[in-house]
């Protein structure tokens, strides 16, 4: 059972915390809504990115998609423009 005090963030209320891949715990992962809020874009924008093969890498948990906040930060940093690239 998952509930959340923070919109878009999944937290586990009871039971053991299972690591998904040895690195991620369900309480640390963002939902698509949480990712949209973190990046200040719409959920539709994230879905469009996924169709194009763009956007931060997702983790499939059953039929749901989740995002690791650290990987989201890495993705953002990889897209940073230098002073000379900016238009």
pLDDT at 28: 86
Q: Sign of torsion, CA 56 60 63 64?
A: negative
Q: Which residue has the higher pLDDT, 11 or 39?
A: 39
* Residue 9: half-sphere exposure toward Cβ, Cα within 13 Å: 11
pLDDT at 87: 59
Dump strand ranges (E) for the chain: 2-3, 11-12, 59-61, 64-66
- 22-74 pLDDT, tens per residue? 555 556 899 999 999 999 999 999 999 999 999 999 999 999 999 999 999 99
Which pTM was predicted?
A: 0.66
| CA-to-CA separations, 29 to 17, 46, 81, 82, in angstroms, rounded | 13, 16, 27, 29
pLDDT at 23: 58
Nearest in space to 10 (alpha carbons), one of 19, 18, 2, 21 = 2
Domains of the chain as residue ranges with CATH: 2-9+24-78 (1.10.10)
């Amino acid at each position: 059972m998952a509930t959340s005090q923070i919109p878009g963030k999944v937290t586990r209320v009871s039971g053991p915390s299972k690591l998904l891949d040895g690195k991620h715990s369900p309480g640390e992962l963002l939902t698509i809504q949480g990712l949209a809020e973190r990046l200040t874009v719409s959920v539709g924008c994230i879905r469009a990115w996924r169709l194009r093969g763009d956007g931060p890498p997702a983790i499939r948990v059953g039929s749901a998609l989740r995002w690791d906040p650290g990987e989201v930060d890495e993705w953002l940093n990889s897209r940073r423009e230098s002073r000379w690239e900016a238009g």
